[in-house]
Structure 1
Amino acid sequence: MSDLTRMTATEIAALVASGETSAVEVTRAHLDRIAAVDEQVHAFLHVDTDGALAAARAVDERRAAGEVLGPLAGVPVAVKDVLATRGVPTTVGSKILEGWRPPYDATIVQRLREAGTVMLGKTNMDEFAMGSSTEYSAYGPTHNPWDLSRIPGGSGGGSAAALAAYEAPLAIGSDTGGSIRQPGAVTGTVGAKPTYGGTSRYGLVAFSSSLDTPGPCARNVLDAALLHQVIAGHDPRDSTSIPQPVPDVVAAAKLGATGDLTGVRLGIVTEFVGEGAEPGVMAAFRESVDALTKMGAEVVEISCPTFAYALPAYYLIAPSECSSNLARFDGVRFGLRVGDDGNRSLEEVMSLTREAGFGPEVKRRIMVGTYALSSGYYDAYYGQAQKVRTLITRDFTAAFERVDALISPTTPFTAFPIGARTADPYQMYLADLFTIPTNLYGGPGISVPCGLSEGLPVGLQVMAPTMADDRMYRVAAALESAVGTFTPPAL
């Protein structure tokens, strides 16, 4: 393995800016790493070799011309295949969009290009971001670099696995119910969900529009903060984008890295430290709490009773929104088209296309959502779920009147074996038990590695008030300074 692939994004950017190495050398090193290990990991659905090298050459030319480069110029990045990328296949892990090459870039992809990062390719994911293990990808599962027989989390398991396997120093994910944080936890990497509306959804293939949040993935907190700073900010093309300045997450990460949390008040979510979490996960979490206390943080228990209803509320709201959003995939305008032999009606072509193009989990959620929105059931299901969402928001608001941030384990268990939960959707859904409330509230959350349980990574989650993303970075960086980063066994 090249030394360049072992470096942090911050280190790579500094070397490129100083001319000690070139963006092309860095890019080739990571492309070679992908070629060497991705057959085992399957983190990528598409590797854009030519595009990556062209972008890297452009960075080197700008540096040679004396331009001042951005803080991540020349750094490779892997992009979850849920974001539209001009001329590059964007499948969302589904057969229904196989081969689709968008004519435009998502705002986040556009900002990555403008910042001089080098897009290596598109990463694997659960189909339409519906899943917790990346086993529901139409193109096969991704494997966890810590143990290739285990899942890398989901839905953004490809992005997290690419980081853990040293195929990329940075990645982009999206988080609807935990799809950035949960993969981060089980792969020993950092995954951050920004405040909803803090990052643009323009060009993000929609799953649940009131929940979907693109965000940064990295191997350490400072790198995640730097990537967050590049992609965040108001976008007039996204009606839900917040027209406010982005908090200085980079300064917060640097402050946290000093290991001083004096004056910071943290709340342990009582409902997330009882039954349901594996003993090894709780042991690592408790040790991390001790570390935070030693750095000066005041830690208290905070009860958020409605969090217990977050999981069922989420699995009514998200499927309801997806049943509406996925209606556009009809076999007419773009993507897969099945049965169009001139002898079938448009309705038959639509039905055959959706039957062939959508996988089982997507079909399950579309049916649940359609039922929840149907006449006579709307108030009993979708309407009630939205009321629960309001109560969860109130619990968060009350908690943040007492503490600066909330902490919990990121996920109740470590990475489980591939195939262990696919036959039981409820057991699969439990992977997001601790992450879903933050999505329903709309605030930021981050998962940072906090230890190992039986040789597998455990993550600690930090949750902050809306538009206080800097708080979570400070706490996460402080914990990282105490416990360090974690390296998987060599592939």
Structure 2
Amino acid sequence: MSAGELVEAFRTGRLGVEEVTRYVLQQIEVLDPHLHAFVTVTAEQALEAARHRDAELVRWRRGGGEAGGGGGEAPGPLFGVPVALKDLIDLAGVPTTAGSRVRAGHVAQASATVVRRLEAAGAVIVGKTATHEFAFGATTDTPFHGPVHNPWNLEHSAGGSSGGSGAVVGAGLLPVALGTDTGGSIRIPAAACGTVGLKPTYGRVSRHGTVPLSWSLDHTGPLAATVADAARVLEVLAGPDPLDPAALGAPARGLVQAAEAGATGDLRGLRIGVLADWARDRIHPEVEQAFRGALRQLGDMGAELVEIGDADLPPAGVLTLVNRLLALAEGGAYHAATLARRAGDYSQEVRIRFELGQFLLARDYLLAQRLRTELARRAAAVMERCHVLVVPTLPIPAPRLGQATWTPAGAEPEPVPEALIRLTAPFNVTGQPALSVPVAVGASGLPLGVQVVGRVLDEATVLRVGAALEQARGPLPR
């Protein structure tokens, strides 16, 4: 069931929160040994919260089932919904390992802002999911935890760095899990695991209480079973936070209604920019076929398709390079003191990246920041011509576990980690909202996603288009 359906079932008494929570915990116990997606399952805390939610419902019904009726608060927008957190996000009294031996034994003293907002909306937190070490990788395969397996094919990667969250939602264990996204870490596992993944506008959601990678690029957002669920969660998470200087003051309203409007399949009046050059550069045939099918569906629903080329927005590689420079420099700075003391506790892969970041010159970092500003300006100019952009989320289907490279037709082999971020990292640089929506299952039996990118602070239109694609696709064949 979706988050919205669960809330309605709890509100009407068709299901109990403790009943559903126990079922979810039982399913985690059965399936997670195959997925390897959870780092910590907070069963006792979840059941206690569930019983509290059921008691709240009893009080509310005794008061007539009306808000302000004297019988308790009305059920919130995520009332009773089981949710997991990427293990970068603090939950009071629970370890936050960030996927690294460096933080073994660390226990959060307070919950992150996003966790407090989830709980205030009625959610039940059931555990922490695996991340690539300090979120600096796209496969969620680290020595500290081991690989997370793709629920569609256990021999394939779940993507990363929020691979645990992608796997639990993709497996149907939960309707919602939180992730973070610095270069695609929500959208990559969403595409790999056949879920919806929403990176909001930069600053839309507070990052206080979340282990950082790059303060210029980090975003927090949902992976969800449906576009409407992603909208519902973002409405809860968004808003000002004095504890995060980058947090924007504007709340997010009307997002669920926007998704519902998109589900009618009417996109008349919308101009959709197709990143044609990006979508032709080293794209796997399965991905290309799925993307062309999505474009046909958008046109059939009344949208006007507008081609956007490299003359309008620079090649994806340019934006991805800026992303990498910023992440290396800022990640290296954050970890400098710990690296000096405990370098051996980092995996070799991530340690080398953070050490490299410490060798970047100040002028390189300042140049990357200037380019970030200019590229955001260029993107805003492009968005004056269209309401959203579309491009494949990933150029390849989910890779096999441990796969190092793939070979595009007529081109040199490309490292898999570089391929996975090639089409997602640019929008961390520009700060635009970006949504990955599954649109097809390829001949390989793996899901394939399309990315819908909007104007800054216009998640509503992104969700409308995403919901239209979801409706046109129908249920994914398993």
Question: Given the two structures, how large is their TM-score scaled by the length of structure 2?
Answer: 0.93
Partner of 1:473: 463
SS in 2 for 1:199: coil
Change (3 A) 1:95 1:425: farther
Structure 2 contact 326–365 (Cα < 8 Å) conserved:
yes
Mapping of residues 87-486 of structure 1, within 5 Å: 87-136=93-142, 138-303=144-309, 304-327=313-336, 329=338, 350-351=340-341, 353-355=342-344, 357-373=345-361, 378-379=362-363, 381-421=364-404, 426-454=415-443, 455-486=445-476
- Give the aligned partner of residue 20 of structure 1: 14
Tell whether the 8 Å contact from 2:182 to 2:428 is kept in structure 1 after alignment: yes
Shift of 1:113: 1.1
Aligned to 2:51: 57
For structure 2, the 5+ residue unaligned runs are 61-71, 407-412
What does 1:37-76 correspond to in 2, within 5 Å? 37-66=31-60, 67=72, 68-76=74-82
Paired residues of 2:405 and 2:415 also in contact (CA < 8 A) = no
Count of aligned pairs between the two proteins: 456
Q: Structure 1 residue 394: deviation in Å? A: 2.5
Counterpart Cα distance in 2 of 1:422 and 1:201? 33
Letter in 2 for 1:81: D
Paired letter, 1:434: L
Deviation readout 1:78-136 (Å, 9 max, x if unpaired): 11001011001110111111121111010001111111101010000100001111113
Once superposed, which parts of structure 1, at least 4 consecutive aligned residues long, lie more than 4 Å away? 422-426
Cα-Cα RMSD: 1.6
| SS of residue in 1 equivalent to 2:141 | coil
SS in 1 for 2:436: strand
Change (3 A) 1:134 1:21: same
- 8 Å CA contact 2:396–2:419 kept in 1: the answer is no
Q: Which has the higher mean CA deviation after the structures are superposed, 441-450 or 264-273?
A: 264-273
Aligned mates of 1:188, 1:63 — CA distance in 2: 33
* Aligned residue identity for 2:420: A
Aligned-residue offset at 1:233:
1.1
Q: Specify the SS of the correspondent of 1:149.
A: strand
Give the conservation status (yes or no) of the 8 Å contact 2:38–2:130.
yes
Q: 1:287 to 1:466 in 2, by over 3 A?
A: same
Range 381-390 or range 93-102, more displaced: 381-390
User: Any unmatched runs of 5+ in structure 1?
Assistant: 1-6, 331-349
Q: CA deviation at 1:245?
A: 2.6
Distance in 2 between residues matched to 1:462 and 1:485, nearest whole Å: 19
Give the drift of 1:451: 0.7
Question: Residue 425 of structure 1: CA displacement?
Answer: 9.2
Instruction: Give the Cα separation in 1 of the matches to 2:417 and 2:432.
Output: 24
AA of the residue aligned to 1:366:
F
Q: Identity of counterpart residues, as a percentage?
A: 41
* 3-state SS in 2 of match to 1:65: helix
1:8 paired with 2:24, answer no
The answer (yes or no) to whether the contact 2:85–2:128 under 8 Å persists in 1 is yes
| Cα gap change, 1:32 to 1:487, in 2 (>3 Å) | farther
Alignment check: 8 A CA contact 1:247 1:468 kept: no
| CA distance in structure 1 between the partners assigned to 2:98 and 2:405 by the alignment | 19
When normalised by structure 1's length, the TM-score is 0.90
Other-structure match for 1:342: none
AA aligned to 1:150 is H
Change (3 A) 1:271 1:385: farther
Note the C-alpha offset of 1:404.
Answer: 0.4
Does the 8 Å contact 1:130/1:361 carry over to 2? no
Secondary structure, counterpart of 1:148 in structure 2: strand
Q: Is this contact kept in 2: 1:163–1:169, CA < 8 A?
A: yes
CA contact (8 A) 1:164 1:487 kept: no
How big is the shift at 1:426? 4.2
- The one-letter code sitting in structure 1 at the alignment partner of 2:430 is Y
Q: What is the SS of the residue equivalent to 2:360?
A: helix
Summarize the Cα distance change of 1:280–1:425 in structure 2 as closer, same or farther, 3 Å threshold.
Answer: closer
Task: Please say which of residues 278-287 and 381-390 is displaced more in the overlay.
Answer: 381-390
